[in-house]
Chains A and B, each alone.
Chain A
Amino acid sequence: MLDQTDSYVTADGRTIGGVMMEMKNITLRFGGVVAIKDISFDIREGEIRAIIGPNGAGKSSMLNVISGFYRPQEGEVWFRGKPRPQMKPYQVAQQGIARTFQNIALFEGMTVLDNVMTGRLNHMKTGMLGQALWWGKAEREESENREAVERIIDFLEIQSIRKTPVGRLPYGLKKRVELARALAAEPKLLLLDEPMAGMNVEEKEDMSRFILDVNDEFGTTIALIEHDMGVVMDLSDRVVVMDYGKKIGDGTPDEVRSNQQVIDAYLGVSHD
């Protein structure tokens, strides 16, 4: 077993650090429905952590707890060794946790460039007056942010649609723009809710490559939810498996794959 602060090197040469984020006995209820029941797991610096499970297992709820959209009734979220106080979603984002949504939440009326620029709002320091009057500082800041955004746009290969309003883009590209906006924030932790849902094989391959590249080049820690088992096994360092709001497996892809409970959940064995 690894300790809280231990680090190790993966087979492909990436360094995985100590625990960044730890979920401790999280329970989330909606009225009488228990969406998450007493779940604990951790996310280490620099790793790709997958959360998998059948429909309705509580995966998205878990991601919403991490990003502050849901408030768990019980349990604590620890971030870099400290318990995190109850936070609003925008405060979580300001703390350096960016996310994408299962159903894509983009600013449909804005261009791709504007959308990605919103990801940098928290990197803009100059006040309202300074910006309104376009003083030197604001100008320099704006161009620095533009550069950072252009790098990400290049990185995700969406240069050709920079000026296109997002509402006109096809689904697969929207997913990529959403990723670009999340990356623009230079997050410490990136949460991806089904980044490949509804994509064809080619698009899935592209997205997988981007996720690996992001992790590799920027060292971004990533937690993702995914349905496609094959993709998950290829991408992730460690996997949490959920079913009916409970954790039924946690470990490397190989460990999880040979776990009997996980096999049962995926093959739909009756719960007796």
Chain B
Amino acid sequence: MSEQSVLEQMRADIQRALAKPPEQRHWAMIIDIRKCVGCHACTVACKSENKTPEGVAYRFVKDAEDGEYPNVQHFFMPNQCMQCANAPCVKACKDGSVTQGKDGVVRIDYARNTGDPKVAAACPYGVMSVDKGDYYTDGTPKREAYEDAATFEYGDKSGRKGKIGKNRKCHYCLHRVEAGMLPACVSTCIGEANYFGDLNDPKSLVAKMAREKGIYIFQADLGTKPTTKYLGADAYSCAKCHE
């Protein structure tokens, strides 16, 4: 056990970043798949934090089995918005609602967004969706109050209603990050597999991890320049899940 928890180290990194002007920050995530245990806590924490409905998951975990008995391998691979520097969704968006912030995070302006399915389809990673207005409690005796509670996405306290019919995706929980907290998937992760922070700060844990061997960029050949990257024992184990 280290002196300071990984969570507290990263929170300190965020505090340093928040002390800088926004344009000098570059929020980034590195997912260490050696430490992902395929538990789906991130998926559920994200759903709970952002109150996403059935059919919308900002973050989900794929898994793949490889080999033949008894020489078996099993890989787990979280997926989410890659916050691409060269984002296909931004290009595909005609209404101007999907933009990239100076901090690297690709944002959706719900007020302007028209929920164009082509924008979601432009994402080669399959991590953007359209909120069709479904509720998990559809078909049960009761809609529950938490389903329409404030989500705080992009610093807005409105609930679900204004997001129906819109494009939706991961935003690194910017509303938490800017309040000095870690993204929900990062803090909940029971394997401590996610590293988050300011890539522009060489002392930050995420910058340190970005310098590790074994960094894997999902579909690097597309030229999308993702900010979300993976760390694995080898590229094979990452690629296996992404097949």
A associates with B: no
Q: Which A residues form the contact surface with B (CB < 8 A)?
A: none
